[in-house]
Amino acid sequence: MCWGLDNRLNRIIKQDNRTVMLAVDHGYFLGPTTGLEVPKKTIEPLLPYADSLMLTRGILRTSVDSDTSVPIVLRVSGGNSILSKELSDEDITVSMEEAIRLNVSAVALSIYVGSEYEHRTIVNLSKLVDEGEKYGIPVLAVTAVGREMIRDAKYLGLCCRIAAEMGAHFVKTYYCEDFEKVVKNCPVPVVIAGGKKTPEKDALNLAFDAVSHGATGVDMGRNIFQSENPVAMIKAVRAIVHENASVDDAYKLFKGLEKEQNK
């Protein structure tokens, strides 16, 4: 692997081989998502606790100070909206040159395995990897996005493995039963999305299950920024991912921080 690419990936996945990525890219097809109405307001207090920030170039330019040292994972696929008939109708939306100008540490693109535009999104992943390899920029493949996909180990394993075969340097997917099989069959690091907002303890459970079954960490959005106490929540997630805290201990930490904040 090229030193620059390795170095960028190491800025995202820490020395303990774990990472807490903060995903705030939802607006690229959802528009002003709950909790992200004013992205700067949401992002600023969370940034010190994020190992990387995943977002679009528009939100990066407008809502993140350029003196940040937090690695940026730039979403470079899109072209659809929540109103689109077919969510998989995505293409590459940002050039590698622009990603380099923005000094990002990685780029992210969704693949839609089993959907109408599967072929285009998978070929785009390969093309993006070619570009990334040229300049030393790692590529994150975001898998298993789709309304009607059954998110089981067989399907998620298929998605992750295809992403790795196309050359993705790390993969984002969903947690499922038998998750260790997904990880075992994928030769690159796997991080999980948090999914829809659930009670804090459930989200902490999800993070715990994921890392204890082989995930490198989380790329979590709504379960952090839609929490009543986003900073307390990201700290609790960090305790699980980086300190191997139990769910109970992480939840206690969350409640304690929440109490302090409400004093």
Q: Which of 40, 134, 172, 197 is catalytic?
A: 172
Which member of 221, 227, 232, 245 binds ligand R5P (CB under 6 A)? 221
Q: Report the nearest approach of ligand R5P to the CB of residue 223 (Å).
A: 6
Q: Please, which residue, 63 or 110, has the CB nearer to ligand R5P?
A: 110
57-116: contacts with ligand R5P (CB under 6 A): 110
Considering the complex, state which of residue 19 and residue 223 has its C-beta at the smaller distance from ligand R5P.
223
Among 22, 145, 159, 236, binds ligand R5P (CB under 6 A): 145
Region near ligand R5P per CB under 6 A, out of 111-119, 125-133, 187-195, 251-259: 187-195
The piece of 11-19, 181-189, 190-198, 228-236 that touches ligand R5P (CB under 6 A) is 190-198
For every residue of the chain, DSSP letters joined together read --HHHHHHHHHHS-TTS-EEEEE--THHHHSS-TT-SSHHHHHHHHGGG-SEEEE-HHHHHHHS-TT--SPEEEE-EE---TT-S-TT--EE-S-HHHHHHTT-SEEEEE--TTSTTHHHHHHHHHHHHHHHHHHT--EEEE----TT---SHHHHHHHHHHHHHTT-SEEEE---TTHHHHHHT-SS-EEEE--S---HHHHHHHHHHHHHTT--EEEE-HHHHTSSSHHHHHHHHHHHHHH---HHHHHHHHHHHHHHHH-
Q: Which is nearer to ligand R5P, 22 or 96 (CB)?
A: 22
Q: How many residues bind ligand R5P (CB under 6 A)?
A: 13
- Exposure string of 166-202, with b = 16+ CB inside 10 Å and e = fewer, is bbbbbbbbbbbeebebbbeebebbbbbbbeebeebee
142 binds ligand R5P (CB under 6 A): yes
The CB-of-152 to ligand R5P minimum distance in angstroms stands at 18
To the query of whether residue 259 is one of the catalytic residues in this protein, the response is: no
Which part of the chain contacts ligand R5P (CB under 6 A), choosing from 113-121, 205-213, 221-229, 252-260? 221-229
CA separation for the pair 101, 59 (Å, rounded): 15
Decide if residue 23 touches ligand R5P (CB under 6 A). yes
One of 8, 11, 18, 26 touching ligand R5P (CB under 6 A): 26
Closest contact distance (angstroms) between CB of 222 and ligand R5P is: 4
What is d(CA 46, CA 104) in angstroms, rounded to the nearest whole number? 19
How far, in Å, CA of 247 to CA of 207, rounded?
A: 9
- Considering only residues 25, 51, 90, 131, which one is a binding residue for ligand R5P as defined by CB under 6 A? 25
Question: Does 55 contact ligand R5P by CB under 6 A?
Answer: no
* Residues at the site binding ligand R5P, with contacts judged by CB under 6 A: 23, 25-26, 110, 142, 145, 193-195, 220-223
Q: Which residue numbers are catalytic?
A: 172
